[in-house]
Amino acid sequence: MAEQFFGRGAATPDQVRTQAAPLFERLCLIGAGLIGSSIARAARAKGGIARSIVAHTRRPETLDRIRALGFADVVEPDAARAVAGADGVILCVPVGAYAGVMREIAPHLAPGCILTDVGSTKGSVIRDLRPLLPPGVHLVPAHPMAGTEHSGPDAGFAELFEGRYCILTPLREGDPAATERVAELWRRCGSMVERMDAETHDKVVAIVSHLPHLIAFTICGTADDLAEETREAVLRFAASGFRDFTRIAASDVDMWRDIFLNNRDALLEMLARFTEDSHALARAVRWGQADFIEDRIRRGRRIRRGLIERRQA
């Protein structure tokens, strides 16, 4: 069996991928905000992902900005023309827009094309896309677990996905080869790839992502509702804990509105569990149950250590 060595003067794994034939000849990004523009930048920086990158968005000022930034080969305001001839299409818009976008692009998707996405909910994605999927087009839902509080084409950077997980939720009837191509796309972007069913995915992200955002928005709303003099003191003397909440709460409005509405059941289930646990901790504070309080703090520290050990902190 041949072995490949990466010693002095030999090609590194990243260089081997760069020299390999691209996964896609024409990769179309529907939406070019933080995630879409980061995919395009990663494709430019790392190579081996796409021979040509097409970016579509509707706003003229965003189209002009994409042209100025230069991370796409083609900038196309018409979604139908953008996907024409593409062998890969990635939806990078809020999940609430998927059904409308799909109705627009479905007649123009080429046979053999792989359609994937970056949405934070997967049950709703399958619900909205699968009924409109043309014959011969392969749907591979995906969710890169990476992001910042910033948005727009200027916010993206090539290293966003490095060392982060990307979860695929392939359809039971899906094409394994198409799923592997999407997995390899994310590996070449620097991600670690996992696969799970859509229902499990939505419950997992409800607790690790969606509920924390809901709590952050609520805490900032509570602070904003305080009397004027108290609110000013909150902003002036905010400690790191509150600042962390404000960072999360600064996230994109449209995206998070759609996430909450499209992962409603899983989010409400996790919110109910959190509410019960918070009431239990409140009772412990009220009645001076130090052991209970210490247990909750220790469990939080243990979770944090686990994240650090997995390099996800």
Q: Which residues of 209-222 are buried (b: 16+ CB within 10 A; e: fewer)?
A: bbbebbbbbebbee
Residue 169 CA to residue 281 CA, distance in Å, equals: 36
The structural domains of the chain, ordered by start, are: 13-196 (3.40.50.720), 200-309 (1.10.3660.10)
Average pLDDT, the chain: 89
Place of tokens 């359609």: 115
Q: What is the mean pLDDT of residues 124-140?
A: 96
In the structure, what pLDDT confidence band is assigned to residue 19 with cuts at 50, 70 and 90? low
9 vs 121, more confident:
121
- Of 210, 234, 213, 211, nearest to 224 by C-alpha is 234
Q: Residue 11 pLDDT more than 70?
A: no
Give this prediction's pTM: 0.85
Is 13's pLDDT higher than 90? no
Cβ atoms within 10 Å of 21's Cβ, excluding its own: 7
d(CA 68, CA 84): 24
Q: What is the mean pLDDT of residues 77-87?
A: 96
**39 Cβ neighbours under 8 A, 6+ residues apart:** 29, 90, 92, 118, 156, 189
Instruction: Quote the CA–CA distance of 269 and 274 in Å, as a whole number.
Output: 9
pLDDT grade, residue 169 (50/70/90)? very high
Q: What is the pLDDT of residues 271-282, one digit of tens each?
A: 999 999 999 999
Measured CA to CA, the distance from residue 58 to residue 44 in angstroms comes to: 23
